[in-house]
A and B are shown apart, each in its own frame.
Chain A
Amino acid sequence: MAIIELSNIIKFYSMGKVTVPALSGVSIKIDKGDFVAIAGPSGSGKTTILNIIGLIDTPSEGNVVIDNTNTILCKNAELTRMRQKVLGFIFQSFNLLSGLNVFENVELPLLIGRFPLARKERKEWVKHLLEEVGLSDRLRHKPRELSGGQQQRVAIARALATKPKIVIADEPTANLDSQTGKNILALMKKINAEQKTTFIFSTHDPVIHAMADHVIMLKDGVIEKEYRRENGDTD
């Protein structure tokens, strides 16, 4: 059953008098629990698709249905609620709040979304998440005191804090060395397998998208190729 359904998405950006197309009629269906890679070269539209799925951008045309809600018809407050409860977002450059420490960064979405958790429960849950990503010894560190890989792990823990149905990661390994990148993907895959959370990530690295079980290849704003891989399959 599809948890995400994009129908004929068109997106163009106006830059003065010039209109630049980013997506030209993309339709995608993603099932619950999928581990999806959106692959393609730079400028192919990967980030645009992720932004639209993550409700941080809107398409110029087309329909976006997420968790049975047609988001095109939603008002701002409903979109905010979905960002709080349904979606988690991992940014390419981590986007951790520099004023907060590791623990506070992960705790933040729970406080913003006013999740009904007692203070003690909330603290325990955040600690558990940070243990899961291997940062239980870095709780009080500021983001600037962490390596790129560690920051990305914090970003993953933050995205998972609200137990979202869907986690979107925009090139999560782009700013990391290849080994750290693989480790991050392995961590995401583990969480996907354990919690059945749908992961959608973009990459232009064939080694990374080889780890996905649903691959969508984009080129010049259209789907060039899409395939699913059964367990054990390789390219």
Chain B
Amino acid sequence: MILLIALRNLLTNFRHTIIIMFLIMLIVMLFFIGNTAIDASDEGLKNTYILNYTGDVIIQEKTDVPMSVFGANAPAIGEFFSIPILKDHDDIISLVESMPDAGVITSQISGPVVMDIGDGRYKTFAFGIEAQTYFNVFSGITLVEGELLKPGQRGAMISKERASMTEEEFGKPVAPGDMIMFTTVGATGFKIREVPLAGIYEYKNQGQIPDEIVLVDAQTLRALNSILLAPETDVPPPPQSTDILTDDIDSLFGAESFPTPVDVSGPVSITEIQAQLSNREEQPFLSTDKGGWNFIIIRLKDGVSNSDFIQRLNGQLESYSAIAVDWRTAAGAPALLVLLLYFLFNGGLLLLVIAGIIAIVNVLLISIFQRVKEIGTLRAIGASNNYIRVLILSENLIVAIVSGLLGVIAGAVLIQIINGANIQAANSLIITLLGGKVVKLGFSESIAIVSILVSAALGFLASLYPVQFALHIQPVEAVAKG
């Protein structure tokens, strides 16, 4: 009966009810659409990063500054920051391989480079990859032209977008076999390496950051980043290499120890330098690359919880100076940007909710003021404080939940309209955030439920003061207002 009275009261006071419903509906619709967009962005980013760069879990050396696969999240001003090498890489690999939840695993080196390709020079970011496993872990990478890097092969791969941009900029197509020169600068000076372009690829999800990434064989990037190179053979060094290690220390400094200097008095052409840089014998890699690595990247088996796996793994990593992090930490600033957007949006919405609550409280107070006689009558015929409280709360919760439901429906309709409009995002950051060029928002049941709960909470909070006001109405008011 109390619900019936509440419903009838709502219909009787339709004018107030409709104002409150409109306010709540508007707030819930904004909440629903905003969070759906953020959720879509988060999901887009998650897919982009997990499938293309970070995997589900990344193991890295512990550092004082937050770090992603792109280096330090907070740039260290006035000093160089290099991504630390995983000290116990091989032991950790064995540890991860022993965990049944771990799917495929690969290792990676990262670092900024300057890339000369065609006639262009670009600041970019290189991933030194373990070619044997990298493309198993990152199934989002597909080959467009050329070939995927093979274990032991020196070379680089660039994205289709980078190749197109270079072609558009300089009018010359970029093709596999073209030479790419990489330059880095570090504590030990400049490092330059040149490798052939092995292939052109594209990522499943596009965005600003993918275009800037170049995949390089690990040895080349190690050389550029001054990291311990992997031994290129496991056979003992030839005798002539160890001949100088004699007991006769003085002979080390004899003239015979030094080759005849090359005559560089004349001009040296760029072609000659490039020929020198390229004139390296192909050396076989070991089946297992024993050089330094920055990261171990793991894709988990289907259905395995990231957070649970990371917790268990970190428990086992306690004896090492390494830590496992999720894709969001590994992704760095862009993923954190979504979190920031989430907090900013919901923070703004909280202000709107507070304003909404104040407005709803006022409308409810007016409504209760107009119902003093009715509430007084109820008290005169025996309604307790609790009965009045439940009555008013029921009325407001009914309004709030129905409005919340309508807000979600309105939001869903608007989302369908947005999706149907096939809106193309022009900004590459937005493309990255959306995980694609076309704005597509999904219907999230969990956000819909949370929106209705927010609506109910809004109705409840807005009712608190009006309920107190109603409880102060005395039975005598039934007569006084009669």
Chain A residues close to B by CB (< 8 Å): 47, 51, 54-57, 76-77, 80-81, 83-85, 88-89, 91-93, 95, 97-100, 104, 107-109, 111-113, 158, 162, 170
Question: Are B482's CB and A56's CB within 8 A?
Answer: no
Q: Which of B367-382 contact A (CB under 8 A)?
A: 373-374, 376-382
In the complex, identify which listed stretch (B1-9, B202-210, B460-468) lies at the interface while the others stay far away: B1-9
A56 — which chain B residues lie within 8 A by C-beta? 376, 379-380, 474-476, 478-479
- Cross-chain contact B11 with A84 (CB below 8 angstroms): no
Q: Is the CB of A107 within 8 A of B8?
A: no
Task: Closest A residue to B7 by CB, please name it.
Answer: A99
Residues in B whose Cβ lies below 8 Å from that of A85: 382
Closest to B12 in A: A99
Contact A92 B478 (CB under 8 A): no
Decide: A91 and B482 in contact? CB cutoff 8 A: yes
Given A98-B12, A99-B9, A104-B1, A91-B478 contact (CB < 8 Å): yes
A13-B361 Cα distance, complex, nearest whole Å: 31
User: In the complex, which of the residues A83, A91, A95, A100 contacts B382, with contact meaning CB atoms closer than 8 Å?
Assistant: A83
Whether A100 lies near B5 (C-beta < 8 A) is yes
Q: Which residue of A lies closest to B383 (CB)?
A: A112
Name A89's closest neighbour in chain B (CB-CB): B380
Please state if A51 and B479 are interface contacts (CB–CB under 8 Å): yes
Contact A92 B482 (CB under 8 A): yes
Determine the distance from Cα of A107 to Cα of B2 in the docked complex, in whole angstroms: 12
Listed residue (A56, A76, A108) with the most chain B CB atoms within 10 angstroms of its CB: A56
Q: How far is the CB of B50 from chain A (nearest CB, A)?
A: 56
Interface residues in B, total, Cβ within 8 A? 27
CA distance A92 to B380 in the complex (A): 13
Closest 6 CB pairs of A and B: A99-B8, A84-B382, A56-B475, A83-B382, A95-B377, A93-B482
Q: Which of B1, B5, B385, B478 contacts A95 (CB 8 A)?
A: B478
A57 to B479, CA, bound (A): 10
The reply to whether B1 and A83 form a contact with Cβ atoms under 8 Å apart is no
Contacts A95-B377, A97-B374, A112-B387: A47 and B479 contacting too (C-beta < 8 A)? yes
Q: From DSSP, what is the main secondary structure of chain B's interface residues?
A: helix
Q: Give the docked Cα–Cα distance between A101 and B381 (Å).
A: 17
Instruction: Evaluate contact between A109 and B482: CB separation under 8 angstroms.
Output: no
Question: How near does chain B come to A115, taking the closest CB pair, in angstroms?
Answer: 10
The answer to the question of B307 belonging to the interface, with a C-beta cut-off of 8 Å to chain A, is no
Check if B384 is an interface residue, CB within 8 A of chain A: yes
In the complex the two chains form, what is the Cα distance from A93 to B373 in whole Å? 11
| Cα-based distance from A159 to B383 in the complex (angstroms) | 14
Q: Which residue of B lies closest to A85 (CB)?
A: B382
Query: When A80-B382, A104-B4, A112-B387 are in contact, do A91 and B475 touch as well, CB less than 8 Å?
Result: no
**Can you identify 9 A-B contacts, CB atoms within 8 angstroms?**
A80-B383, A80-B385, A84-B381, A84-B382, A91-B380, A97-B378, A107-B1, A112-B387, A158-B381
In the bound complex, CA of A234 to CA of B362 (Å): 57
CB-nearest residue of chain B to A175 = B482
The minimal Cβ–Cβ distance linking B2 to chain A, given in whole angstroms, is: 8
Q: Is the CB of A112 within 8 A of B385?
A: no
- Asked if residues B482 and A83 are in contact (CB atoms below 8 Å), the reply is no
Q: Pick the contact of B381 from A47, A98, A100, A112 — CB < 8 Å?
A: A112
Q: Which residues of chain B from 37 to 95 have any CB-CB distance to chain A below 8 Å in the complex?
A: none
Tell me if B8 and A100 are in contact (CB < 8 A): yes
Residue of B5, B384, B474 most packed against chain A (CB within 10 A): B384
Residues in chain B near residue A109, CB distance under 8 A: 381-382
Chain B residues contacting A88 (CB-CB under 8 Å) are 381
B476 and A97 contact, CB distance less than 8 A: no
Q: Which residue of A lies closest to B478 (CB)?
A: A95
Does A97 lie within 8 Å of B5, measured CB to CB?
yes
Q: In the complex, A108→B4 CA distance in Å?
A: 11
B384 touching A97 by the CB < 8 A rule?
Answer: no
Contact of A80 among B2, B11, B384 (CB under 8 A): B384
Contact residues in B for A54 (Cβ distance below 8 Å):
380, 475
Bound Cα distance A115, B478 (Å)? 23
Instruction: Assess whether A83 is in contact with B377, with CB atoms less than 8 Å apart.
Output: no
CA distance A81 to B379 in the complex (A): 11
Contact B1 A108 (CB under 8 A): yes
CA gap between A88 and B383 in the complex, in Å: 13
B340 to nearest A CB, angstroms?
A: 49
Which residues on A sit within 8 Å (CB–CB) of B374? 95, 97-98
Contacts of A98 in B (CB 8 A): 12, 374
Across the interface, which residues of A come within 8 angstroms of B475, CB to CB? 54-57, 83
In the bound assembly, the distance between CA atoms of A85 and B382 in angstroms comes to 8
Contact digits for B87-118, partner A, Cβ 8 Å, 1 yes 0 no: 00000000000000000000000000000000
Chain A residues with CB below 8 A from B2, complex form: 111
Residues of chain A within 8 A (CB-CB) of B385 are: 76, 80
Per-residue CB proximity of B302-346 to A under 8 Å, as 1/0?
000000000000000000000000000000000000000000000
The complex places the Cα of A66 from the Cα of B476 at a distance, in Å, of: 18
Across the interface, name the chain B residue whose C-beta is closest to A77. B384
Q: A89: which of B1, B5, B373, B381 is its contact (CB, 8 Å)?
A: B381
For residue A83, which residues in chain B have a CB less than 8 angstroms away from its CB? 379-382, 475
